[in-house]
């Protein structure tokens, strides 16, 4: 499945939830999405970066250049408090959505 096929909000939610634990850089995010979804989702670089920039403009994530010893300078993204709240909201919406879906179809999501 390509990201373009996912509902727009869900791609953002994927990124936000990956940043929940700790700050990460773009490449790491792409790799993580690939491995965690067992390659069911493939983010194109093309879509990750504009998405991060949009989240940043919205104040949901905060990007900073970080320099570590023996490593090149990288831009790390971390969740802002506002991003954390947005993630919680989206989670609740999705949970309600799945619950409704369940009731109607008897379908269990994993």
Which region, judged by CB under 8 A, interacts with another protein, from 12-20, 25-33, 92-100, 101-109? Answer: 25-33
Applying CB under 8 A, does 74 fall inside the site for another protein?
yes
Tell me the C-alpha distance between 9 and 17, whole Å.
12
Task: Give the x/- contact pattern for another protein in 43-62, rule: CB under 8 A.
Answer: -xxxx-xxx-xx--xxx---
- Looking at beta carbons only, is 49 or 94 nearer to another protein? 49
With the C-alpha atoms ordered 93, 99, 104, 108, is the resulting torsion angle positive or negative?
positive
Query: Which SS3 state, helix, strand or coil, does residue 43 take?
Result: coil
DSSP 80: -
Task: Give min distance, CB of 2 to another protein, in A.
Answer: 10
């Amino acid at each position: 499945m390509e990201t373009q096929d996912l509902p727009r909000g869900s791609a953002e939610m994927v990124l936000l939830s990956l940043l929940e634990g700790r700050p990460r850089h773009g490449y790491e995010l792409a790799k993580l999405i690939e491995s965690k979804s067992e390659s069911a989702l493939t983010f194109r670089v093309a879509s990750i970066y504009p998405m991060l920039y949009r989240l940043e403009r919205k104040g949901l994530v905060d990007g900073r250049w970080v320099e570590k010893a023996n490593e090149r300078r990288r831009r790390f993204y971390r969740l802002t408090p506002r991003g954390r709240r947005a993630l919680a909201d989206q989670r609740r919406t999705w949970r309600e959505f799945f619950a409704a879906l369940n009731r109607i179809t008897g379908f269990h999501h994993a």
